[in-house]
Structure 1
Amino acid sequence: MPVGNKKLPEEKVFKDPVHRYIHISDELIWDLVGTKEFQRLRRVRQLGTTFLTFHGAEHTRFNHSLGVYEIMRRIIEVFEGRPHWNGNEGLLCLSAALLHDIGHGPFSHSFEKVFNTDHEEWTRHIILGDTEVNTVLRRMGEDFPQQVADVIEKTHPNKLIVSMISSQIDADRMDYLQRDAFYTGVSYGHFDMERILRVMRPTEDQVVIKATGMHAVEDYIMSRYQMYWQVYFHPVTRSAEVILTKILQRVKDLKNEEYPFKYPPHHFESFFRGAITLEDYLDLDESVAMYYFLMWQKEEDAILQDLCRRFMNRRLFKYVEFDQHFMMNEWLRLQQLFADLGVDPAYYLVVDSSSDLPYDFYRPGEEEDRVPIHLLMPDRRLRELSRESDVVEAISGKKRTDHKLYYPSEVLEEPGQEDTKQQIKDILHLKLGKVER
């Protein structure tokens, strides 16, 4: 096995719509990109079901991972020769940046919810297991894969390196905000990344920002806030995720009932058993999952057939907003009313909640990985961002949460059982508020 890393005879360049160019000069990085585990990320969308809301959101984890690598490469260029930066750690940073999302599965978060998997755990398995990725990484030494995994898991002793890829302002977030904004076509996620990169400085424990760059960081924080509520938590995307989750749940339930599938879910077998092998995990991507959703439209089971048709043809659930008092006062009654209509509330009446904390500061005694952003002042002191920025201070530590109830609105428009349907409408309209369309 070759040992160490060499520079490529000629730099490789990826044309990128967000960063213009992605530059690779290290043989190690180039070979990691060529592994089958990394190439699989071309078949896993970055934003899951968001393509059903923003039709341009077809970009993949492959795109994003290359983008995070490129930002990390630029950060390292800024850090070269500065105190607290060890140039020998560069390849570790670049490898961790490139591989940080390699464990994501199809429609990642919905999939994890049903099958109780964790993409971070699978990232570790891929880096440390019998894979092409592991073989390439071991050229740098037998302990190098473990170091890469530790950086991604935030357990590496070098906190500076960890903060470069996982903190409140890091290479990962700076790429996905810009990339997701570009592909969804929204204006919220744009900020002056070039300015932020120029004012980043290494310290012993974390990346800090020169005080002169505070306004660029304010812009970044607000971009993140807007992207979460306008894109990532968009109610239509959440409706698609609800249906996707219920498809997987229905298949799991039918499997337990020994239902005779016309199109057996072979690629899901080990997931049902809770004995997933690395090979099984890597064999399942979104192209495979979509094939099953397509074919399950022809199943005899009416619920699975309907849910798959809804997902494939974008016939999504409608929603209403509600408060927590509803759960105690009306939830059981509403479930029974839907059941009276012949609609199984277990699959067709779904509560979904979203919450985000756009920026947090240090809270003594809390076990939290939200290391605050520090500004490097002219006198070399460090000041926590919200103590200097009125904009950030206004949203610091403020967690926003909303709750929505998703349901199939068309069943209320069909003729028959008018009294039951009117009771449902009264609850949805009067108790919960205006129905969203």
Structure 2
Amino acid sequence: MQYATKKLAEEKVFKDPVHKYIHVQDQVIWDLIATKEFQRLRRIKQLGTTYLVFHGAEHSRFSHSLGVYEIVRRMVDDAFSNRPLWDKRERLVTLCAGLLHDLGHGPFSHAFEHVFDLDHEEFTRAIIMGDTEVHEVLLRVAPDFPQKVSDVIAKTYGNKQVVSLISSQIDADRMDYLQRDAYFTGVSYGHFDMERILRVMRPLQDQIVIKSSGMHAIEDYIMSRYQMYWQVYFHPVSRSAEVILRKTLERAKDLYVEGYTFEFAPTHFYSFFEGDVQLADYIALDESIMLSYFQFWTTENDTILSDLSSRFLNRHLLKFVEVDPATDWEKLVELEKLFEEAGINPKYYLVMDSSSDLPYDFYRPGEEGERVPIYLQMPNKELRELSRSSDIVDAISGKRRTDHKLYYPKDLLDGSNPLHVKIVKSINR
């Protein structure tokens, strides 16, 4: 029997709080889960710093990746199995891409990427194509199979149906993280009728469409996503923790560049500080290691690094006020000067952070970051873009919401110090 079609002697299942059970029948999938690169995802939180706001949000990229795989499995084995426009030969590459789509996330994900100018999708593809256990497993399927999986992640795979199941405005990735993140944060926003959506998905040439009778389930899904972003993902306290995390890493990098002698040498970060990150260095770094360094850095002689590390570990976060960079730029310049005068380094303690989201977009050909819209298949087989039929979706379609906050250390500002009082008045003006 060829490895690509080899089944396990007995189906394996993972008990899951969102999908009840995650089913594994293919030897390839079981072997990929066992690789050290995939097991590393147990040590990467799905929601980064959000656990400092919603204490239950301790779930990992590992559990999310299994969840995405399970949704994809249900799509290709159940929802599409007898559909004439679905090519069953695409099954395994779709399952593998769903399982491995987040393989390249670093510790604390997006905050970490921001500091070192990295792209987790590039590292996902590098792990798939590099000298790794994952690559070795994929290579057993066929010599070109790792490249096929990588192409799905890169959204360059020839079959756009496969790409859309993993990455689109309605894909398995979003379907899992909305429900999983809602479950572990304890909020109600991320729930929607996934069973109904799976029943009304239809494969067509080069795309996946939704049967028009399922429009309301899609509306619910899009609104769930909208609410989760603003109530959970962009929560201002979680963003405060991200700011401290970023500034801690930036301070450590700046000290390294300046030639500072660390009490505990940050050897795991050297290649990141130098901008020459090797794949082995990237795979070796996870959140347990990063938190260990933060613990060591709390006793560093550099007071800024020590303070920032302690703030993050002990949830001693920064306060914030709403700002508008278009109208408040003079205020921001003045505050930087006041902070410097007060001996508080504004680079690390006065930070403007912006969040932006586009909950749904229609087709804008040629525009940067264009998105393929969701199409409804009408009873007469006509395809109609979702916002043309849904007043709810039309109301938010193409509308980007942006939020700006200024973070600062209120605890360092003494009410008896005239300069500090001036700073507080300026911040709240």
The answer to whether the superposition gives a TM-score over 0.5 is: yes
Q: What is the CA–CA distance in structure 1 between the aligned matches of 2:21 and 2:322, rounded to whole Å?
A: 43
Q: What is the CA–CA distance in structure 1 between the aligned matches of 2:349 and 2:50, rounded to whole Å?
A: 20
- Please tell me whether the aligned partners of residues 239 and 406 of structure 1 are also in contact (alpha carbons under 8 angstroms): yes
Q: Could you tell me which amino acid in structure 2 is paired with residue 428 of structure 1?
A: I
1:45 correspondence with 2:23: no
Greater Cα shift, 366-375 or 127-136: 366-375
Q: What is the CA–CA distance in structure 1 between the aligned matches of 2:3 and 2:212, rounded to whole Å?
A: 42
Q: What is the RMSD computed on CA atoms of the aligned residues? A: 1.2
Q: What does residue 422 of structure 2 align with? A: 423
Q: What does residue 79 of structure 2 align with? A: 78
- Please tell me whether the aligned partners of residues 4 and 92 of structure 2 are also in contact (alpha carbons under 8 angstroms): no
Q: What does residue 174 of structure 2 align with? A: 173
Q: Spell out the pairing of 1:130-209 with structure 2 (5 A cutoff).
A: 130-209=131-210
Shift of 1:321: 0.3
- Please tell me whether the aligned partners of residues 167 and 369 of structure 1 are also in contact (alpha carbons under 8 angstroms): no
- Please tell me whether the aligned partners of residues 364 and 371 of structure 2 are also in contact (alpha carbons under 8 angstroms): no
Greater Cα shift, 24-33 or 75-84: 75-84
Q: What does residue 357 of structure 1 align with? A: 358
Q: What is the CA–CA distance in structure 1 between the aligned matches of 2:296 and 2:342, rounded to whole Å?
A: 27
Q: What does residue 281 of structure 1 align with? A: 282
Q: What is the CA–CA distance in structure 1 between the aligned matches of 2:154 and 2:426, rounded to whole Å?
A: 45
Q: What does residue 107 of structure 2 align with? A: 106
Q: What does residue 240 of structure 1 align with? A: 241
Greater Cα shift, 187-196 or 367-376: 367-376
- Please tell me whether the aligned partners of residues 209 and 375 of structure 1 are also in contact (alpha carbons under 8 angstroms): yes
Greater Cα shift, 172-181 or 324-333: 324-333
Q: What is the CA–CA distance in structure 1 between the aligned matches of 2:126 and 2:414, rounded to whole Å?
A: 50
Where do 5+ consecutive residues of structure 1 fail to align? 431-437
Where do 5+ consecutive residues of structure 2 fail to align? none
Structure 1 residues 281 and 43: alpha-carbon distance in aligned structure 2, compared to 1, 3 A threshold: same
Q: What does residue 28 of structure 2 align with? A: 28
Shift of 1:364: 2.9
Shift of 1:427: 1.8
Cα deviations across residues 174-215 of structure 1 (Å, max 9, x unaligned)? 000000000000000000000000111101121111011100
Q: What is the CA–CA distance in structure 2 between the aligned matches of 1:422 and 1:280, rounded to whole Å?
A: 46
Q: What does residue 369 of structure 2 align with? A: 368
Q: What does residue 11 of structure 1 align with? A: 11
3-state secondary structure, aligned to 2:4: coil
Shift of 1:115: 1.1
Q: What does residue 64 of structure 1 align with? A: 64
Q: Spell out the pairing of 1:235-274 with structure 2 (5 A cutoff).
A: 235-274=236-275
Cα deviations across residues 68-123 of structure 1 (Å, max 9, x unaligned)? 00000111121112121011110000000000000001011111111111111110
Q: Could you tell me which amino acid in structure 2 is paired with residue 98 of structure 1?
A: L
Shift of 1:323: 1.1
Give the TM-score, by structure 2 length. 0.98
Q: Could you tell me which amino acid in structure 2 is paired with residue 161 of structure 1?
A: V
- Please tell me whether the aligned partners of residues 12 and 23 of structure 1 are also in contact (alpha carbons under 8 angstroms): yes
- Please tell me whether the aligned partners of residues 200 and 209 of structure 1 are also in contact (alpha carbons under 8 angstroms): yes
3-state secondary structure, aligned to 1:333: helix
Q: What is the CA–CA distance in structure 2 between the aligned matches of 1:106 and 1:46, rounded to whole Å?
A: 10
Which runs of 4 or more aligned residues in structure 1 lie more than 3 Å from their structure 2 counterparts after TM superposition?
Answer: none
Shift of 1:3: 4.1
1:341 correspondence with 2:342: yes
Q: What does residue 412 of structure 2 align with? A: 411
Q: What does residue 123 of structure 1 align with? A: 124
Shift of 1:388: 0.4
- Please tell me whether the aligned partners of residues 221 and 359 of structure 1 are also in contact (alpha carbons under 8 angstroms): yes
Q: What does residue 308 of structure 1 align with? A: 309
- Please tell me whether the aligned partners of residues 105 and 123 of structure 2 are also in contact (alpha carbons under 8 angstroms): yes
Q: How many aligned residue pairs are there? A: 428
Q: What is the CA–CA distance in structure 2 between the aligned matches of 1:127 and 1:84, rounded to whole Å?
A: 28
Q: Could you tell me which amino acid in structure 2 is paired with residue 132 of structure 1?
A: E
Q: What is the CA–CA distance in structure 1 between the aligned matches of 2:221 and 2:68, rounded to whole Å?
A: 16
Shift of 1:329: 1.6
3-state secondary structure, aligned to 1:422: helix
Q: Could you tell me which amino acid in structure 2 is paired with residue 177 of structure 1?
A: L
Give the TM-score, by structure 1 length. 0.96
3-state secondary structure, aligned to 2:121: helix
